[in-house]
Amino acid sequence: MSMQSFSDYTSKQIDINLYDDDDELEQLNEINLKRAIAPAIALSFALRKSKEVRQKLVNAKSTEELEQKLDEIADALAITDSKMNAIFSMLLFITKKL
């Protein structure tokens, strides 16, 4: 897998802007949009999970029973694991597209 340099990426973006044919440009924009959907969904999932983790930790702080505190912390760790999987999937998808 070869990494794409920033200058290669920007030169391709400039080339896209030089197209005169609106249909061709529209097709390129549609392709770029489709490529962005999967990472955007993964990022949205990770952000939502971040809120859930914070709520679980708030619950753990406010709970008086030690068992309940441990359950909330265990839940927060499980949610964090799923969040990290989403971020990893997003990064994997992005790097395969470069």
Give the residue among 61, 87, 57 at the shortest CA–CA distance from 75: 57
CA angle (62, 66, 68) in 5-degree steps: 65
Residue 57's contacts (CB-CB under 8 Å, 6 or more residues apart) are 72, 73, 76
Output Rg (C-alpha) for the chain, integer angstroms: 21
The rounded distance, in Å, linking the Cα atoms of 49 and 45 is 6
Would the pTM of this model clear 0.95, i.e. be above it?
A: no
- Residue 70 binned pLDDT confidence (cut-offs 50, 70, 90): very high
For the residues 5-34, what does the mean pLDDT come to?
56
How does pLDDT run across 21-63, given as a tens digit for each residue?
Answer: 666 666 666 666 667 777 888 888 888 889 999 999 999 999 8
The domain spans of the chain are: 6-97
